[in-house]
Structure 1
Amino acid sequence: MSTLQRTPFYQSHIDAGGKLVDFSGWELPIHYGSQIDEHEAVRTDAGMFDVSHMVITDVAGKESKAWLQKLLANDVAKLKTVGKALYSAMLNEEGGIIDDLIVYLMNEAETKYRIVSNAATRDKDLAQFNKVAAEFDVELTERPELAMLAVQGPQAVAKLKQAKPEWTETLDTIKPFVGADLTDIEGDNWFVARTGYTGEDGVEVILPGEQAQAFYSLLLENGIKPAGLGARDTLRMEAGMNLYGHDMDETTSPYECNMGWTLALKDERDFIGREALVNKRKQSKEDGTAMKQVGLLLETRGVLREGMTVTINQGTDNEQTGTITSGTFSPSLKQSIAIARVPATLSDEDSVQVDLRGKGKFVDLRVLKLPFVRNGQKQFD
């Protein structure tokens, strides 16, 4: 029997009353008593999530930029200033998504970068990193000794400034999707970035593991509420953000999961999966098999669940189907929501339904453009 891994915040979770579960081989809190309260704290005030299970990989070498331009579907040449972040898919040769990740530019010479990728895909990510790196002068260093804490919500930055007044100038300076080295303030291996997975303002802090519990306690003292995996999932769903292994995987094209905007295709850069991606996109449009991602809202009672079949124009000659890739009850909307993959031809005139209980009783769904909620506000009428 394999032993679950623990993050540097493990004791902090125990002390805060966290209910710990197995998440991709890590012992992490699902909640601290009330998932709904934790969700609401992030939407209206400030909450914090342990994301130390994420994989941090530092990249160095004179061909670091070229390696990343080969590896990723988005182009790190877009990173013009130190600390700037880029969201990208990493594709396989068939144009499917191995993982989605964030890469930061760490020096002006463009010889140092930092990648933050998903825990559940660690082994295959690192295998792909190293496979492609064999052709480049680049050195990859995984950083398991570092901890990572997401501090999210409309009051997150204000409360972080209260806890760490010496960070005020830095926090006032960094814009969304930009990070800053805190070495001069905190010592080695402290980094803060205006990123997150909730649809709210906030930051993600990378820090030495041995200083994690003290930092957690300080944030608790300044009114930042612990939040678990349950709230993280409902928050990201309301924000229309994908979860790897659910809304996308190695069989999914970025075009099928609302990630087409991350593809840098304007020049001739030869990244892995490009040719297959472009060819499949063209073919699917021609043969009518193209899919797209939408949001679904259930305006009656019930809960939409992953794996449910979405039926379009049920009972007609034009009947088609799609699939719910993530579904939940939305604490902010007090209704059930879902992220779904449906035929790209779906229009406003089409009826969309789901058989909630598998008994042939179809319920109407409302199709919405994602996100459902952003910065605490409902994004539809």
Structure 2
Amino acid sequence: MVRRTVEGHTRTEAQAVPDILWVLPYAVMGLVVVANLIAGPTVGLLPLVSLGPAFAGLVGGWRRTVVVGLIALAAGVGLGIYSQLFEERRGFASLAAVAGVTAVGVAGSVMRQRREAELAGMRSIAEVAQRVLLRPVPRSAGHLRAAVSYTSAVAEARIGGDLYEVVSSPEGVRVIIGDVQGKGLESVETAAVVLGAFREAAHDEPDLKGVGARIERAAGRALEGEKFVTAIIAELDPANGAVFLNYGHPPPLLVRADGSVSFPEPDQYALPLGLGLGSGEGPRPFRVAFAPGDQLLLYTDGVTEARDRTGAFYPLGARTVFLKDPDPEAALEALRRDLILHTEGPLHDDAAMLLLRHRE
């Protein structure tokens, strides 16, 4: 299961603001009426009831704004009679102002609803793109159990430049996790190219280095200038453990069955995808033992580079206690929540995590 979230406000805060906006028009009009009655008929607060329909256009449909406007007009008539404003022209002028504000509020509400409908359509397209680009990883692949988490740093985001995939091949379970430099549609397009190349090569190539070579060629054709993709490609099978190709990506977190923690690194890091095209030198594969009960966490730098208010990075190696949950999805969700608590606010970069467990 993929856990995709948008951080920034808590659920309680997100719900409280609309509730206030729903009540605000009626509260303002009621306050104006009460204040006018307390101050007496010599204080004419009639024009202030137009604040009701003005606030009504912020939420809800145009019908609600019309209803609030009619209530405001009724309140205005009552205050006008109470203050004897209709003996002068300013009473009728005040009612005309209330009607005018109501008309503007209705027009604004209609325009807002149209924009919301357009945004909803764009979100639907983005969600379809998400399902194509970042498909849910299988919960079980060969000798592994898998779970994935993706936390977007951008409000309302559905997809971004982080990528991941798990493929069962004749050679073993092959996985990739990567991070495209930059943001926006270009990074999404690059992620799609890399994932497409991996999904095809993972089934066809008998050697992991061949998988990496095909992905690097595809990335080199898609990337322009100094753009690049950091990535780790891994192959896991029960007999040979885990083999990695590291293209300038943060090292994986390996948690042994006995609780010991390490970050396996190659002897020498290779250039990221897209920067080493034509050099003839890809990353050297390196092997790590991966036994029953072991766990492997692949992640993007949005995890380890997340800072708290003091500027301290997230101490991933010290947070493996959250991975003790027997359910890999629950364990990864606990780790994700701890990451958000560490930053005490929205992330500054997307954070993807892929957890692989060797079945005992």
Give the TM-score normalised by the residue count of structure 1: 0.23
Higher helix share: 2
Which protein is bigger by CA-based radius of gyration? 2
Give the TM-score normalised by the residue count of structure 2: 0.23
